Amino acid sequence: MTAIPPAKQAALDWVAENEAALSRDHMTIWNLHEPSWREYRSCAWYVARLREEGFTVEEGSAGMPTAFCARWSNGPGPTLGGYAEYDAIPGRSQAPVPYRQPREGVSKYAAGHTDPHSALGIGAFAGFLAAKHAMERHGITGTLKFFGEPAEKMCGSKPVHAAHGYYDDLDAAISFHPHSFAALGNSCFWDTHSAPYWSRIYTFECPDPETWGRINSGQGGSGSTGVQHGHSAARAPGAIDAVCLMYTSSKYMKEAMLPHTGSWSLNEFIPAAGMAAADNLAPNIGQIQYSLRAPTLAMCEQVFAVLDRNAEHVAAMTHCTLASAWITKTRAGLPNHAMARTTFRNFELVGPPAWGEEARAFGREIQANLGLAPMDDPFLPEIQRLTTPEDGEKGFRAQLPPWQVNLAADDYVDYTWHAPTVRLYVGRPTLAPPEPGFRYPEWTRYAMGGVPACIDPMWATAGRVIGATLIDLLTDGTSLAAAQAEFRDRTGGGIGGTAWVAPLLPKDFEAPVNYRWPEYVTTARGEGWTIP
């Protein structure tokens, strides 16, 4: 067996020595469970901890209040990037118990960590701190750049950071995510990376409802003895009708927007509808947000051309003005085999996550509470073994048409166009089905995300793999060079090259933080949860 280089061993040892403290850190973020664009306390925790570790931290990077950009340097050398996410999902509140139960003290519609991003962030955080420790101890020069990326579930911050130039100085980047596909339980993406995700919000306002119709001159007009009363006139349809018409017309058009292939999806959110002060006044504002994931940029353009056209007609029909604003626009992920090879080589060194009896007992409790026969090992076999990137790719391709080269959505894709980037998947606790086709309720995954015995093996394994990979990129003399050569080849010369895709948002793009997103609020009644 080849000896592990001392610097890499130091990174691995650091994660092991600090695992208990990091476990408590993870539970801090899990218990905050803050939703997209409202992760104030989670972001503040990372900022404070990174400063304690010696990083220089820019708060509110790219104009995003819950984002940050942290930098630590040990002298001249490559700049390597990574990030934490920490947003939770509205309506997914779940206590860390083996049965369905929302968290105590908050609405059942409050946010909860699903993937969970709490563990995603701590895994990446652990890896970067491990690499920093090894760099200090062994005199390795270079720079670590660690980002706080809010609102991933809206694919929110990364395209904004990219548009504002925050990734342009990176030499390589690591993106880690708990596994989403059994075929990639412990692996790295190869060719099939995430697809584009676009989202736009349409705002309808009715500022002049009185101009919709006119009072008959014989009923209170000039010289009439009648009583003139504007409220008795026909009122403008207004903004509620606008939102309703936009929703229904676009639903009718959905069948013709895209072919029924390619795993695309279109979803809506209504932040505001109405604001009528009385029964005889026209509702004056309504908003509807559309979010699309589709395999290609051309398909995204086609869908939003239809939505834009619908919105213009709806505004005219309801006597409203229309304002359209992008929430996000991501690119499609760019592969880098060299980064995948280097990272998976370290995954082979570290090994897959392993779950002990406490975690298995919790899994068996879930099974028993669902009326299933508890298994000796309740966890999916795929999350307990490694899968090569090439084999994982075969699993992807088996379910996709030949033309489709991107699947699902995640905004890490914007890193891939600024530096060679790996997408690391590590197995999260997932229960094995009792029979083919059986699907567990989603709350089972959410609950295990808040049980240290269940979730710690996942993020700790990720921390070891990330720390070791960062050290290789800085020291082995070949891994980073190969990744950068491949990046230049795929982009036709690097950033600005002939095959490079520029950020889809403008350089001065203002992040959509001021809309009425779900959040926690404090009132005279105390702390509460609101969906505005």
Please tell me the distance from the alpha carbon of residue 62 to that of residue 79, in angstroms, as a whole number: 19
The ranges of the chain annotated as CATH 3.40.630.10 are 6-195+332-523
The amino acid at 329: K
The token duo for 145 is: 């750049």
The ranges of the chain annotated as CATH 3.30.70.360 are 199-211+233-329
pLDDT digit string, tens, across residues 145-193:
999 999 999 999 999 999 999 999 999 999 999 998 888 889 999 999 9
| Residue 507: count of CB within 10 angstroms of its CB | 9
The token duo for 258 is: 């895209």
pTM, two decimal places: 0.94
Pick the CATH number of 6-195+332-523 from 3.90.1640.30, 3.40.630.10, 3.30.1490.20, 3.40.50.720: 3.40.630.10
The amino acid at 181: F
Owner of token pair 């379910």: 399
* 124 vs 235, residue with greater confidence: 124
pLDDT digit string, tens, across residues 113-155:
999 999 999 999 999 999 999 999 999 999 999 999 999 999 9
Please tell me the distance from the alpha carbon of residue 330 to that of residue 410, in angstroms, as a whole number: 8
Residue 217 has pLDDT above 90, yes or no: no
The token duo for 15 is: 């994660």
DSSP-derived 3-state class of residue 441:
coil
The DSSP secondary-structure symbol of 114 reads S
Residue 214 has pLDDT above 70, yes or no: no
Please tell me the distance from the alpha carbon of residue 8 to that of residue 183, in angstroms, as a whole number: 28
Percent of the residues in the chain that have a pLDDT greater than 70, as a whole number: 95
| Residue 66: count of CB within 10 angstroms of its CB | 28
Please tell me the distance from the alpha carbon of residue 269 to that of residue 511, in angstroms, as a whole number: 18
Give the pLDDT score at 223: 47
Please tell me the distance from the alpha carbon of residue 385 to that of residue 207, in angstroms, as a whole number: 61
Owner of token pair 């013709």: 256
CATH of domain 199-211+233-329: 3.30.70.360
CA dihedral sign, ordered 394, 399, 403, 407: negative
Peptide bond into 436 cis (omega under 30): no
**73 - beta bridge partners?**
143
CA 359 → CA 3, 117, 362, 427, 429, distances in Å?
32, 20, 5, 14, 9
Convert 109-141 to b/e letters by CB count within 10 Å (16 or more is b): ebbbbbbbbbbbbbbbbbbbbbbbbbbeebebe
